[in-house]
Amino acid sequence: MAAKRKKGARARKPVPFINRELSWLDFNHRVLEEARDASVPLLERLKFLAITASNLDEFFMVRVGGLHWLKRQGRTPRDPSGMTPTRQLDQIGRYARKMILDQYACFLDELEPALHEARIRRVPMNGLDAEQLKYVERTFDELIYPVVTPVAVDPGEPFPVLQALSLHLAVALPPAARDAKGRGAERRMAIVTVPQNLARFMTVPCKDGHEFVLLEDVLEAFMGRLFPGELIEETAVFRITRNADMQVREDEAPDLLSGMEDILEQRRTSSCVRLEIAKGASSQMHAYLQKALGVEGTMLVRVPGPLDLSAYMGLATMSGFDEYKSEEWPPQLMPDLAPPESMFDVLTNRDVLLYHPFDSFEPVVRLIEEAADDPGVLAIKQILYRTSADSPIVAALARAAQKRKQVTVIVELKARFDEARNIEWARALESSGVQVIYGIRGLKTHAKVCIIIRREPSGIRRYIHFGTGNYNERTARLYTDVSFMTSDEDYGADAATFFNTITGYGQATDFRKIDMAPTELRARLLECIDGEIARCAEGQKGHIMAKFNSLVDPELIEALYRASQAGVKVELNVRGICCLRPGVRGLSENISVVSIVDRFLEHSRILYFRHGGDPLYFISSADLMTRNLDRRIELLVPVEDADARARLHHIVKTCLKDNVKGRELREDRVYHRRKPPGRAKAIRSQEVFYQEARAAVKEMETDRRKVFKPHRPAG
């Protein structure tokens, strides 16, 4: 029961900022809600659960790792919500433990029984029939035994360096010697690492469906064969998470590439920020591993089921069992953007705005591939932040350089967890003759832009692609992002100036249309917000709509609070972290925030300002976070084409109306899932966009069948 406030006492003024870390955990909980939603197909639910586990791994590596570093350094800066690192770690620890319990309740009580009914069964070792046991034993002898290597842990020697996020088994053996009374030294310990190059889910023969055993269960069952003649007192499966929040000192590294390689090496041995251990392990085993790995008690997690639920993504995406998966929503390719239409011809006549993954990413890839092979193309300049393993865009850039075109690529080596891949791409591109720049000193290059310079009969023309997402054709099927392609002269001049500025010791300059972080982007956004405030003061309507992934920056949040207090209507679609507290009387009652979690990851950044009835529309590579605005190279791109503006408006409005997958943030930091009121129409924004994309393709194909084009003789 809440304590009564004393008569005459003032109500405590709410803190205007929500803690960033707790807001992120709230987002991961929204993803977990999808895993617990019985209306979602079973294997899609399993996929969402795996995503929450993977998300939590990265959160501990980066965010918790950074807070631990501050705490060890004795630094006590308060975040905008007023919390010190120690207090944040305490609250994170409690929240994360509760989330892990919720994850395993979802898995053990809901998903695994449902999987069993769907004939997808995890079989314990003592549940195998004779044929299955024989198969597993043979597989152990022929495949597993030759690969695993037990490592003895000597009490006086350093603990072995263990790979983060891998599964390991701690094996306890009896003491080597005992005295006359049967007492001896501490029991001996060894570590067996579960091989990552073997399947975690070992399929076993069965009459119907799909049955499997976990690789760690097989190792535990046959552990005696790894220690012949020894009594195995205890085995325990465990997993560690290491701090990955470290950055290269660019002023000290001989070059950025070698500096990034050093960072990757440091991550192998950095401090442990979390220890997960199977629930059945003894308290003695807990104490031993905690001390050996230097893990604080608050970051010791007793796991009530199989460790590393992120691995279940492989099970969720296995072939077959389509009745337990969502209906395919393949990206749609508009006929007027498909071969044999040339992307150069298309962009000469009009601007193109695509909304992925509902619209295919293929036109973007084809634009770059055409540029690689077109004899009129003189140069290509592009930024690569994250790419796929076998990227056709990277292959096209290499081919263009081999054909003696001038190709310049900024490969951002500091793209977290993609550093190794980007180092490989950088070296491969260099060997093909591409001029590679390893990012910009002191900043992370996060802008998404490509410029193609082509000689045509009318002169030099520049073709430009601006995007909100990466040049990655695989994630373009999983993330919602905007592509804007144009040959407009002003955009072309801006793109050329942008590249020359960041690659050639250039000074920040005024652009014709675009704005760039860290120089002008923040000021431009504040100017647009202040413009809405000024118009409200003059009696006009003020309206802001925006869609992005994260809202963290205190200055922009305070500007939005001022807008709300001035009467500006502010509607925000924020997928993940939101440190703004909406709906607070006298502060933010004119601000609403909705988050959408659905089958595709919401990733696009779109902004709208009413601007006195002459609206401004922008797309951006940047989220509204201090790091994006002050420590990254980002772009804010105005969209002026009438059709493109209308579509951006429709995208944002539809997302704001989502009453199926939308959750509304209230002032108490709690997200409430929306439901269609009464008999109102259910609006699931992602389904709306997919059906619209299909309808547009069908309509264009119908129209094309009404147009007859005769073949004419050449000459």
Q: Is 415 exposed, middle or buried (0-12, 13-18, 19+ CB in 10 A)?
A: buried
Give CA–CA dist 580/583, Å, rounded: 10
194: nearest Cα among 262, 252, 255, 240: 240
Identify the active-site residue in 68, 168, 356, 446. Answer: 446
SS3 for 155-192, per residue?
CCCCCCCCCCCCEEEEEEECCCCECCCCCECCCEEEEE
Low-confidence ranges of the chain (pLDDT < 70): 1-15, 177-185, 245-269, 413-422, 505-508, 706-712, 714-715
Amino acid code (one letter) for 414: K
The reported pLDDT for the residue numbered 531 is: 98
Cis amide bond preceding 113, omega within 30: no
Q: What is the pTM of this model?
A: 0.90
Q: The dihedral of CA 139, 142, 147, 151: what is its sign?
A: positive
Spell out the domains of the chain, with CATH numbers in brackets. 16-118+296-326 (1.20.58.310), 134-175+185-293 (3.30.1840.10), 335-512 (3.30.870.10), 516-695 (3.30.870.10)
Q: Are 436 and 423 in contact (CB under 8 A)?
A: no
Tell me the C-alpha distance between 367 and 373, whole Å: 10
Find the angle CA(413)-CA(79)-CA(302) to the nearest 5 degrees.
75
Question: Pairing between strand 569-574 and 543-548?
Answer: parallel
Taking 3-state DSSP, the helix, strand and coil percentages for the chain, each rounded to the nearest 5, stand at: 40, 20, 40
Whether 625 and 20 have beta carbons less than 8 Å apart is answered as no
Q: How far apart, in Å, are the Cα atoms of 430 and each of 407, 424, 425?
A: 10, 10, 8
Rounded Cα–Cα distance for residues 463 and 346 (Å): 11
Check residue 245 and give its pLDDT. 58
Do you find a cis peptide bond into 340, omega within 30 degrees of 0? yes
444, two tokens: 């992370």
In this predicted structure, what is the pLDDT of residue 4?
42
Q: Would residue 465 show up in a list of annotated catalytic residues for this protein?
A: no
Please report the pLDDT score of residue 429 as a whole number.
87
